[in-house]
Structure 1
Amino acid sequence: MDNSAHTHTTHPDIVKRLKRADGHLRSIVAMIEAGRPCLDIAQQLHAVEKAVAQAKKTLIHDHLDHCLEEAAGPLPADRRRSIDEFRAIAKYL
């Protein structure tokens, strides 16, 4: 596996989103330790879960848009269909 630097334009946004989720997660731990209501905690957990899922989705789509394209290179239309279908179905991740 190639361990060289590998960044895309979406990576800074993903990092910001994950750092924000990390802060929220830390506050959730404090909420639990402080005995806050379960509804409040569940709402915050849901927000963290969505933030992490969106970060994952962005990363995967970015990979498909850049790395897969680079690996596949130019393809004739009939062979390109599989890659386009894969990209389309990935939106349901």
Structure 2
Amino acid sequence: MSEPHVHASHPDIARRPRRAEGQLRKVIEMTEAGRNCLDIAQQLQAVESAVAGAKRTPVQDHLDHCLEHAVGAMSRDQRQSIDAFKAITKYL
């Protein structure tokens, strides 16, 4: 088994699914209580946002730390492709 791979962002990554879990429970309660569709849709959007943030955070963290370590020092011109790749992943 490999050694733990811990970054400063890991507590935030764990927080987001917990938040989504609570929000998803709320969606179930709202649906069972017959709440209106707009309220339910808004709560579902919050669930999606929490999950998307949880997914995006480790990708960004990996790019910021692991990729930087792997490619090492580069000139400004060489870094343009790496920087562009990192920037575009924010839209995942």
TM-score, normalized by length of structure 1? Answer: 0.84
Counterpart CA distance in 2 for 1:50 and 1:70 is: 30
What is the identity, as a one-letter code, of the residue corresponding to 1:80? Answer: R
RMSD: 1.7
Q: CA deviation at 1:44?
A: 0.2
Q: Secondary structure at the match of 1:49?
A: helix
Question: Could you list the runs of 5+ residues in structure 2 that have no partner in the other structure?
Answer: none
Counterpart CA distance in 1 for 2:38 and 2:26 is: 15
Q: Secondary structure at the match of 1:91?
A: helix
TM-score, normalized by length of structure 2? Answer: 0.85
What is the identity, as a one-letter code, of the residue corresponding to 2:17? Answer: L
1:3–1:33 distance in 2 versus 1, CA, 3 Å: farther
**1:68-83 equivalent positions in 2, closer than 5 A:** 68-83=67-82
The aligned residue for residue 6 of structure 1 is 5
What is the identity, as a one-letter code, of the residue corresponding to 1:74? Answer: A
Q: Secondary structure at the match of 2:3?
A: coil
The aligned residue for residue 20 of structure 2 is 21
Over the matched positions of the two proteins, sequence identity in percent amounts to 60
The aligned residue for residue 55 of structure 1 is 54
Matched positions, count: 92
Question: Could you list the runs of 5+ residues in structure 1 that have no partner in the other structure?
Answer: none
What is the identity, as a one-letter code, of the residue corresponding to 1:70? Answer: H
What is the identity, as a one-letter code, of the residue corresponding to 2:90? Answer: K
